[in-house]
Amino acid sequence: MASAELQKVLDLMAERPIGGGATDIQGMRAGMEESAFPATDAATVTPVDANGVPGEWVTVAESDPNRRLLYVHGGGYVIGSPVTHRRLCEDIARAGGCAVLNLDYRLAPEHPYPAAVDDAIEGLKFVQQNGPNGAGAAESVFVAGDSAGGGLTLATLLAARERGVDQPNAAIGISAWTDLAITGESIQTRADADPLITDASMISGMASAYLGSTEATDPLASPLYADYAGLPPLLLQVGDAEVLLSDTTRVTEKARAAGVDVVEEVWDEMFHVWHAFAPMLPEGQAAIERIGEFVNQHA
């Protein structure tokens, strides 16, 4: 049974839709930043140039500077920023005892695919050799992201395999958007349950903006269609009440069939990226704690 706080969060989401209710991209970007939970005074945020890609180190007292996690935010590849996900990065840093590089990768439509993948690869290479205290090889490396960032997390692993870049110790996908062709059955079966993605046309427009002339089934744009052989362990978390549920369950099947160690968690009654509401939602904090356990297990 969900916590009593869930209804309060659902009411808040109804009052503060994605992007603050704006319909233009710039307005949505600003609205998303304005509605985000801020980092606490316990977090240290340090801007950094990650091999030409802007970002910021988010650390807390518990962070081991040699245990590093690259975080790629969600937002359908068109909105979102380090500001919108700074608090989530702080919570993950605390739970996993790691330093988090909150990457400001390029967004569509100004920078369509493969810009985000190229930037994420540079971020991965950067955290492997640089930490919040400067240059130095990492003892362990992780990649994580939510929604589009969850798909980008998987695409980063796939691109790293193609380009001869070392794989991270493990990776985490939160409510990952893995199928930009939008063919999952949960698009229909969870349409009335998902309080965040209430209109399939919204994600269809985001997919078009990101893909440009690229086919929706390109494996680095839609990791659902990839070969998962040789990828590191994965933790894939998704809510049972979200339209992207099938994007996780189908990837889990493919990755396991390819021999990848996958931990799949489907959280009852949870909506898209409920982790972002951890400051007021117990299930969000519990999911982040599970991420911390997974990081500690593979560090």
- What pLDDT score was predicted for residue 216? 98
Catalytic residue (choose from 35, 63, 81, 147): 147
Percent of the chain's residues with pLDDT above 90: 88
CA–CA gap between residue 236 and residue 171 (Å, rounded): 9
Residue 175 annotated to the active site:
no
In 13-166, beta strands by DSSP E: 44-50, 53-59, 64-72, 98-103, 130-131, 134-135, 140-146
* pLDDT tens per residue, range 80-133: 999 999 999 999 999 999 999 999 999 999 999 999 999 999 999 999 999 999
Mean pLDDT of the chain: 96
Q: pTM for the complete prediction?
A: 0.98
Catalytic residue (choose from 56, 90, 122, 242): 242
* pLDDT tens per residue, range 11-47: 888 877 766 677 789 999 999 999 999 999 999 999 9
Which backbone phi and psi does 41 adopt, to 5 degrees? Answer: -65, -15
**255: CB partners within 8 A, 6+ apart:** 228, 231, 234, 262
Quote the tokens at residue 242: 């979200």
Domains and CATH numbers, the chain: 39-298 (3.40.50.1820)
* pLDDT tens per residue, range 175-195: 999 999 999 999 999 989 888
CA–CA gap between residue 148 and residue 150 (Å, rounded): 5
Which of 73, 32, 74, 40 is closest to 59 using CA atoms?
Answer: 40
| Predicted confidence band of residue 299 (pLDDT cuts 50, 70, 90) | very high
Residue 272 annotated to the active site:
yes
